[in-house]
Structure 1
Amino acid sequence: MSAEHEGIDLRLLGPVRVRRDGAELPLGSARRTAVLSVLALNAGRSVSREQLIAAVWGDDPPASATGNVYTYVSALRQMLEPARDRWAAGQVLSSGGGTYRLHVREEDVDAFRFEALREEGKRHRTAGDRRSELATLESALRLWHGTALAGVPGPFAEAQRLRLAELRLATAERHAALLLELGHHDDAIDALRALIETYPLQKNLRGMLTTALHAGGRRAEALDVQDHPGTKPRPDAGTEPGDTPRPARGRVRIGPGERTVEIPYADRPALTGRDTEVRLLRRATAEVAAGRGRSLRIEGTPGMGKSALLAVALRGSVPAGCRIGWAVGDELSRRMPLGVLLECVEAAMAGDAARTVVKQLFTIAADALDGSIVRTVDRAVALLRQAAEQAPLILVADDLQWADAVTLRVWAALHRVTAELPLLLIAAARPGAEVLDGVPADDVIELPALAPAAATALVRSCAPEPPDPRTLGRLLADAGGNPFYLRHLAAAATDEPAALPAELVSAVGAQLAPFAEETRQLLRAVAFLRPVDPAGGEDQDLRCPLDELAVVTGRPAAELAEALRPAVSTGVLDASGRDVAFRHPVVGRVLHEGTPAALRVILHRSYAERIADAGGAPERVVAQLLAGPVPLDGPVARWLTAHVEELAGRAPQLAVTVLQRARAQHAVESGERLVLTAWLARLLLRQGRSAVAEANWVAARTADADLEGEMRWVAALTHERRGEYDAAAEVARAVLSERRIPVRWLDRFRILLTRLRPHLSGNPTVPHLSRSALIGDQVSVIR
């Protein structure tokens, strides 16, 4: 193997550029640059010709793609090693066995340097060294010179562009947050304004800018940012990541006709499977009207119906004389002291006297920016205690996990006085939110997955036509009892698996957006390691072993478990021992199907190779090959030939699926194809399926007399089991007349003919055999 070469500098974080010993090299065409980009992002690793073609041209490459790869690689070699003799082997860009490898160090590729600096920043952050972290992130951001892989075509480049852009945004946000934490307010403001100009739909950036302006004493500008939150999104901008659509609002009359208040409500007027929770909430509102307060919290993963439950339970059921205020937390509200509480109280209050309470709370919120948190909490609690003493008060906070720290402190303090007042606190939140650890509640209502009967009723109410049992089972398994997923899957249900609804895909993206980029990348790997087995049906095992995740990522299992902990605590993943699985499998489908097809093939092949190299179970390797689907070319076919017997014993149905695919692919060499097809015939026979075509195909081509005898036997036995007695006898007579196979097989065929005699039709003799043949082989000709 060639050594890694120094002196080469590959720049991918912007327009692709290559320098050698300080001199810039000409790259040539866009597709040649695409080939170089794939090799550079796999520096030091082999990339097969098929992977290059899929990366550059996608699922439908032209007939000339293979020849073009040869041409591009030859030109790249000439560019990288101009002094190399034309017929000499490449030292920087080598080839062999249908693969190519770029021999450069990862530190010579700016994308790898960027990711290494991000990891260094994380280490500084863990150590509590924020100044070193800031300096490291500044070095990382200076590596960028525009859009990554600008102008480079192909699905691989597009996927890497998106991935690197996401890393850049996350790094820039952390950089701005560090500037703010370290008191560099003006620098933070400049950085955030530049980010907002680039990413106008990122609400959290405006919240950070507001905080920076307040901290820098520029309150007028901060108010202007709040009052003018941004321009309308461009038509081509799409949906902001993490921007979950808010439910519609309906007006609910409170009290004896004196006023109304807006309460969000779900599209559907009723819930399915939540009767117990509705009764509990309505009982709580009746008790607060009677002077008995309490605090409740509803917890459930996104889509479980927390907001809909609140709306249905409270709509039309709030007793006369009670005041109710409703607020919904979001990323922006986290930046504003008392933001969620202010929204609640403002919605609850009416009239001049009540408006005075709102104004006083606004004053307390403004003072919280500079004053003592303890004093702020005490003042807010005293003010709301006074309001509750005047009339029963219900405060509802949806998505409480997004509330600011001061609101959470006040909410916790109000909990302690609800027993003394007609004050009802109702919150809804995602499970596992660490910010709520110090916020107690009298009762926490955990919304479970819908029971099968309720889930089935919901599907049938939403599906355009009643689904057949197989489709229904698939929908229930995908949704995992999540009402939101069930509703959208049912509305788009077809007899065969189809593309996921766009709204569902967007919702899953919003659900995963708050996670760190590292966690999201690992979730995608989990989705790839629990691929849908084409032969597995609805009962397949969708768990992902952490040890296998460690193999494909090259990271220790304990480190992976820690990185995935946020996804487990919020209910995206379920953890059991050394395995993880998506609580709602459709989330894994979104991550898997949302990856470009060409990149899916590359990743599945890479995972299959790593699992195989680590000595993983053959069925786990084959699951990756089938999920791609990965072309069963030379190296894959050789591995399959070596492991087919073990695979057949451990996962026979999976083996049949991959063997049928291997037989249909002409890229498999003839000798390997013969072995694999013979195993396919054996397995089909064991499963009671027809193996005649496969067995005859092998028997007609093999030079191994013993294998020919076995395959003839498989064909004859298949005919017999299917009641095709004449066909079975015809095979036996042909074998006995040809006498090419070993004696042990001939004996079996004689016994078979004897067994078939009672079932044979027509002339009981064998007129086409000579007398000498009949006597020599003692073929029974009696019916």
Structure 2
Amino acid sequence: MEFRILGPLEVAVDGRLLDLGRPKQRAVLGVLLLRAGTVVSLEHLVDELWGEDPPAQAVASLQAYVSHLRRLLKPDLLLSQPPGYRLAIGPGDLDATRFERLAAHGRLLLDAGEPDRAAETLRRALALWRGDVLDGLEIAPGERARLDGMRLAALEDRITADLTLGRHAAVADELRRLVAAHPYRENLRALQMRALYRSGRQAEALDVYQETRRLLDAELGIEPSPSLSHLHQQILGHAPELDPPAPAPEPEPAPAETFVGRAEQLAVLRGALDGRGRLVLVSGEPGIGKTRLAEEAAPDAVWGRCTEEPGAPPFWPWIQILEKLNLPAELEPGPGLPVVDVEAVRFRFCRTIVATLRQRAPLVLVLDDLHWADAGSLRLLTTLAAELHTTPILVIATYRAEGRRALTDTLAALARLPVVERLPLDGLREDDVRSLMAARLGDDVDPDDQLVHVVHDRSAGNPFFVVELIRLLGSRRRLAAAQQAAAHEVPEGVRDVLRRRISGLPEQTQAILLVAAVVGREFDLGVLRDVSGLDDDRVLAAVEAALLSGLILEEASAGRFRFTHALVREAIYDDVSRARQARLHARVAASLGDRGGAHWWLAAPVVGTAKALPHLLTAADRALASLAHEEAAELLEHALTLLAAEPPVARSELDIHLRLATLHAQLDGARSVAGRRAMTRVRALAEELADIPAYRTLYEVAVARGEHAEARELAERMVAAGGGALAHLAAGRTLWCLGDPAAAREHLVRSLDLAVSEDPDSPHEVTIRLQLAPVLDLLGERAAADVHLAVAIGRARDLPPLARAGVFTSTALIHALRRDVPVAGEHARHALDLAGPQPAWFSYAAAVAAWVRALDGDPAGGVRSLRASLDEIRSRGARHLVGWVLGLLAEAEALAGNTGEGLRLLREARSLVAETGERMYEGNLDDLERRLAQS
């Protein structure tokens, strides 16, 4: 019988919950459980149930509740003992007792310098909580508060252990939520400051301290504690003791050969094989058997395995699935995309792959280790899941419950879909552990009860841990001869088990496994040969010995292998010093060359910044070319870290910050916080170096944000620095935006002269003429503007499709400003046709096409499309030309019969014009306002 008070009150017998009756009766049991093992007086029980004004029959009612409870519970559990009652349950029967014991043990392990075991123990303790103590019962506030305090303390200890293990990035977001819930708890704020600082977010860490200081002063009139103030000073001074430790690896499950237990979960998965589209999310801790369950439930599924290896390509699990289905798996995003294209390209790519998979339905797919999936793979899963309600594809995805932020966001998005079902796994029951041990040790063996209990208790029912412990025990003879000795020899951590298994291998195999561990989860013979210096035969002999040991598996591709589980790789990797790791990473990087990626970062202490940096930048470029922008950002951050340890090289730092700023603009648009930070540094370095390309990048971002005063200042700097044709183009463009066409023409004419004189085939001529045309329109020189448009369109014939799409977008805008509706619509359609799968940058062309649609007799459809285009533009934080698009939408709404909404949108457009200073389309808004007033 199991009693649970860490959440709503529950009593379970063999997994079945008992009906505990009315609230007062439940409250009696709750009070007794809070003081289990001790006598609770009648007076105390009456006071808890009725307070200071009990009814006359309170004692009689209480006795009736006790009588009913005795019929529900096991005999001799609820005892009468003067002056009241005592609940005689064992310490393992109550979840609160187990929690306190585990929490105390976790703290002892933390104090003893064993953070990995402490974190695991504390997670087991915290997993017992299902909600507030005795949720729904208003009793014993003091005892409930005590348990809540212990829960928070255990949570702090677990986070401290995770920080010690280098998991600062994983806990930073968790701490943000905890601090919001407990704003006066300084220990939480100290942990948050450490996590942010170790994640490279020093400014945010300092902000936490200032916020704490303001809160304590305003609400309590006190200063932060000396320890928090000292931490603040350490962060300001970059104290070495705050540096993050090496990230602690987390164990990965190894499937047991024999499948036991999991009957309910297996039934769920097999029930999902009914031909309907479903997504089943199988979650649990490392080693709990997620992969093994999927294998058992869907033996014919097509698998895609995610990897934590730094060099894995984007969309890796999906590429594996496509290859196994003999479908094309190459991603060709196209060169030179504008900074706002990445999301649209990803979207179109995802839709293409989903359409390809639908053609092969029905299918059963397994995505294994989703917690290691890259952002693109998660996006593709979300896209496919949205189509499953009409597609006979079953997707089983396994993941660790504590994944990256990207996985957390994906799970939140998937939770809204009716085709999604979650299937969490926990440890095997003791009877299942007995069955697993019997199967592993032979059908004629019935393991001793005491040994089964020890194995179950030490492993918490984790199948991988159970299997490894059985392997260590060795043989049936050893079990029969020395039960107690075998039980006491069970190691505290699976890492020790793996070390013992590995130590039994030949020395050459151990050496090759170390090289393989440095390479990553997957590796090939060629890299092992290059790094080890052994010939092919000796490398292959060592690998075959590892294969026979079960530590690695052979992949379908010839010469490629992978560790059975990440835990194996991590145990090997962490057993050598950082210095030796760096040397081996240097050899791996040399073997892989520009494909070395993060290996160059890890090898930098050996090869030096000068050698590692170019390879890191090349790896970032490769990641960008594959739309792996998050991976590229990480590599660029590594590059900055390397650069910071060298003598100041402003030019190199500027180049990297420029890349980062552009990359974050591609990912998040103009509102990117990380992009703004990078731009701030770019600005400082640009002024230091008077760097015109940097000024140009800053200028483009300022224009996109609608910050035209800033853009004008940057353009003037470029002109003053001798920036040539592009500097005058920037100045002319900004003056046009600000409503000064005469001054704009002077700069643009100068820009055109410089461009053509420097290069008769200047690639900038088309852009300059496209900017001159609307300027001349404002000056009333329509014929001259038409000449420039004709020349620009003629020169654009030889440009690549995306560049031509940009030209037609510009001409569509110009003709729309003129209210030349048929031509504007024609050019907008040309732009969108040429854009192909990259429509995001051409949202303005889409807006013009939607406006023409509204004017051509479909105002409702035009409104829908215009709003979609406006949302796309605003989602990137852009404000340039947004006021004009609002005007188009206002006109479409009026045509749809919503004049009031049209006038509101027009007021919004006017307000935006006042904020940004964009005057070039103000005449169009004036004309629209007159027409709406007359309607």
Give the TM-score normalised by the residue count of structure 2: 0.27
| Greater fraction of residues in helix | 2
